[in-house]
Structure 1
């Protein structure tokens, strides 16, 4: 026999209710089901390996970037390679770069549902490839590449001015967002954590990485501010700043404050995470090591999916930043925290 804690009981009950494996109790280590089946489209995929060696060498150089930035660059490089049908990079010409640039511009004219790309994606891909070929031209075996190639990735101002103003990104109104969050269940600790997590996204506007790596010491509950400390949080581009809570978010703030009160009653201190893994929600105390935050933002993404499903919509976590009240966000740089 074994005495179970509250979170363990909740996990077992949830497994019984949903007929899922108990292995999913550890939400950080269990991946989503493989969903094995037939996918005729995947059979047509082609893998090009000729450029793998130099791309591997570029990854060593790109170690100065954070992981997400490096992945974004790799996506751009591989997309260009796919566009050229695996053509060796040492044989790339300015004409190839210009043809890819023109393709990006065409994709900018399409809606996302039709395979189009956003303003940000187009600019980043062009920038990533220009930087990659500037690096590539200095590598052994690639010095004969035309020095004009990076310039051919530059996007035409006039064309981009016509294609970039596009508003097909979906986000909820502040009223729909509150209704969405309030409809989330709150029977178990995990459900209350997820509900508070989504609520605070609309209160603070923090990105998923920063939100899920938040510590209690970063909060000023009286002053209604939160500090994004890039030294301790997964902050994009290593930026630190102080965020004032959005106005018109009293309903969201109430949910979040109730969560803070709950974990504080469990002994959580300033050195503990605001949103820890479920198995670490049992208690916090100065006599024990600090409770660590979630290792990834996957739990937040799952919580947001469940939240948006309550109103039969599909909103991404970034929707919290695009909700109309986001225009009133106040941020102050914090050079020394």
Structure 2
């Protein structure tokens, strides 16, 4: 049976999280992970007073994580372990600087929450990230219907992902005025669009996706001429749900407000790929698709930098390291010049 929370520990955790939020400016999503990490350690440690911390607890907790299993019975991933230990490391470092703890806890004690060098390397290694090919994305888009307003919107969502690889959180917060069809651009203003780290991102349409541009223009034309939406209205308004007498609920136009979550976009992408007989890759996979396409076809450094900036990356190495991986077969082809073992 789990012990009741220690009031002293809870106050310290709250103060630490306030520090991380307001001094370190961490996002709510990151703070949620840190809360979970602190609670995991606190429970494992039997709710002992943090003032009694000893490096043996750090070493014991690391061993505990190595023996943990996921819900599927697999060992805890090294990246997950690294994330949990990083939170504890920051917490102990912060604790060593607080009144009443300086003489008990040393800053160096935090180092005992580090992974081994081998595990650290494994945790940092970029995992394989599946992504559709350009032709698969085009096929899925081409098979999407556009007879009804909702179908037009859904196809435009898929089209914009093909054209820009925009992050899904930014996509659901876009307004009509942020898209310029003539300039073939999307302006991601952090004052109005949910961009990563609050960055201003100017994104331009990737060439070769003419059908995607047509689908997006068709939806914006509907918004302007039929729905009579204005520039400050959501580019992709949420579906309105109306009750049917004795028959449940049904879609009934649009609400005129943004989607509250990114789940509708994920559903749109999944249905589109399934209809085309292609595995579901998810919205974020479009970023990998465009990055790999750029890495393969860019003919100059400037072109590669432009593609990186289009994805909102400050450093082109981010594009190459995290998104530009090539498959084993492609690696072999580029190095040996052979396409198969029979060549």
TM-score (normalizing by structure 1): 0.67
**Equivalent residue for 1:74, pick from 15, 35, 38:** 35
Corresponding position of 1:41: none
CA, structure 1 residues 307+282, in 2 after alignment: closer, same or farther (shift >3 Å)? closer
CA, structure 1 residues 325+129, in 2 after alignment: closer, same or farther (shift >3 Å)? farther
CA-to-aligned-CA distance 1:44-92 (integer Å, 9 cap, x gap): x968733444333333334333322322333433444455565554444
CA, structure 1 residues 152+302, in 2 after alignment: closer, same or farther (shift >3 Å)? same
Conserved in 2, the CA contact under 8 Å of 1:90 and 1:142? yes
Gaps of at least 5 residues in structure 1 are: 1-44, 285-290
| 1:196 and 2:156 aligned | yes
Corresponding position of 2:324: none
Instruction: State the secondary structure of the residue aligned to 1:169.
Output: coil
| 1:300 and 2:265 aligned | yes
CA, structure 1 residues 59+206, in 2 after alignment: closer, same or farther (shift >3 Å)? same
Q: Give the deviation of 1:242 after TM superposition.
A: 1.1
The alignment of Structure 1 onto Structure 2 pairs a total of residues equal to 281
Corresponding position of 2:130: 170
* Alpha-carbon distance between aligned partners in 1 of 2:100 and 2:159, rounded to the nearest angstrom: 53
Q: Larger RCO: Structure 1 or Structure 2 (Cα < 8 Å, ≥ 6 residues apart)?
A: 1
Conserved in 2, the CA contact under 8 Å of 1:243 and 1:330? no
* Alpha-carbon distance between aligned partners in 2 of 1:238 and 1:215, rounded to the nearest angstrom: 16
Q: Give the deviation of 1:162 after TM superposition.
A: 5.2
* Alpha-carbon distance between aligned partners in 2 of 1:262 and 1:47, rounded to the nearest angstrom: 59
Moved more, 232-241 or 55-64: 55-64
CA-to-aligned-CA distance 1:288-313 (integer Å, 9 cap, x gap): xxx54323323223323333433352
Corresponding position of 2:299: none
Conserved in 2, the CA contact under 8 Å of 1:137 and 1:145? yes
CA, structure 1 residues 133+163, in 2 after alignment: closer, same or farther (shift >3 Å)? closer
Instruction: State the secondary structure of the residue aligned to 1:97.
Output: helix
CA, structure 1 residues 102+250, in 2 after alignment: closer, same or farther (shift >3 Å)? farther
Conserved in 1, the CA contact under 8 Å of 2:152 and 2:218? no
TM-score (normalizing by structure 2): 0.66
Conserved in 1, the CA contact under 8 Å of 2:180 and 2:186? yes
Corresponding position of 1:322: 288
Conserved in 2, the CA contact under 8 Å of 1:305 and 1:316? yes
Instruction: State the secondary structure of the residue aligned to 1:270.
Output: coil
CA-to-aligned-CA distance 1:176-229 (integer Å, 9 cap, x gap): 223333344444333332232132123212211111001122222222221221
CA-to-aligned-CA distance 1:3-54 (integer Å, 9 cap, x gap): xxxxxxxxxxxxxxxxxxxxxxxxxxxxxxxxxxxxxxxxxx9687334443
* Alpha-carbon distance between aligned partners in 2 of 1:118 and 1:199, rounded to the nearest angstrom: 36
Conserved in 1, the CA contact under 8 Å of 2:78 and 2:122? no
**Equivalent residue for 1:128, pick from 87, 90, 93:** 87
Moved more, 76-85 or 224-233: 76-85
Conserved in 2, the CA contact under 8 Å of 1:216 and 1:272? yes
Corresponding position of 1:278: 239
* Alpha-carbon distance between aligned partners in 2 of 1:46 and 1:248, rounded to the nearest angstrom: 58
CA-to-aligned-CA distance 1:121-166 (integer Å, 9 cap, x gap): 5554444333232223344665423322332334455553356435
More strand by share: 2
